[in-house]
Amino acid sequence: MLSINNIEVVYDSVILVLRGVSLEVKPGTIATLLGANGAGKTTTLKAISGVLRTERGEVTKGAITLGGKRIDGLRPHEVTQLGISQVFEGRRVFEHLTTEENLIAGAHTLSQLKKVRDGIERVYAYFPLLKERRRQQAGYLSGGEQQMLVIGRALMSEPSVILLDEPSLGLAPMLVEEIFGIVRKLVAQEKLSVLLVEQNAAMALTVAEHGYVMETGRIVLEGSAASLRDNSDIREFYLGLNELGVRKSYRDVKHYKRRKRWL
């Protein structure tokens, strides 16, 4: 459904950030994009959603397609109308609007009031807690409630693909498990596709079917989530486990350098 083919992204006409990135998200599946800070993961999502244009960035090579139709170069609202919603890192709710007003803002591409009302009720069915907070200002919601809200707001545009950026950031482990459980339910019941960017590699490889590892603007490794979980380098560099499956400690190590055998 969503395909990225050998794209390059340049900022300010001089800074090359993505170098020949290719990946795909099949219909009704979750694919995850792993990598250290600064690897280019969020830039990849912004290239898909069209937000890159607002930050003086552009796709200079390659193509991004949705259902066979090229979408690179489109404006963000045009990409949303085609069925792609991005949930940004850091939750970014409209703090002075109520929970329900935030959801209504997410339905800006819908022209029928009935669809908006139906969408709100659908979000409340997945996130009952939001219904209890429907008239509360979003800025006063907890971090977990805000994360639920931005995912619900993304659902309001009736997407076929959701780009999910660091949903576990700053949340307690129990809340992370709850939110990822709801994401899996959405994929199964709504027939959604999800491209997940996540620092919590262990959780990401648990919920995803396929994974990609990004380093310095390139995809350096890909495969099924199961094969990546079993990969010795992924276990060491991203899961912190040694060959015996025991979590490693670098407390007494003065310097640790990645071998990066995949490069």
Q: Residue 249 burial (CB < 10 Å; 0-12/13-18/19+)?
A: exposed
**What range defines the domain where residue 226 resides?**
2-230
Interval 140-149: pLDDT, tens: 999 999 999 9
Structure tokens at 109: 């591409």
182 and 263 belong to one structural domain: no
68 and 161 belong to one structural domain: yes
84 and 35 belong to one structural domain: yes
The total of other beta-carbon atoms located within 10 Å of residue 197's CB is 22
Interval 28-59: pLDDT, tens: 999 999 988 888 999 999 999 999 988 899 99
pLDDT of amino acid 230: 87
Q: In order along the chain (263 residues), what is the average pLDDT of each group of 10 residues?
A: 94 92 95 91 95 91 94 92 92 93 92 91 94 94 93 94 92 89 91 91 92 92 91 76 49 44 51
The answer to whether the CB of 97 falls within 8 A of the CB of 105 is: yes
122 and 241 belong to one structural domain: no
pLDDT of amino acid 240: 62
Structure tokens at 165: 């950026």
DSSP class of residue 245 equals: S
Q: Which residues pair with 7 in a beta bridge?
A: 21
Domains: count for the chain = 2
11 and 131 belong to one structural domain: yes
Structure tokens at 139: 């800025």
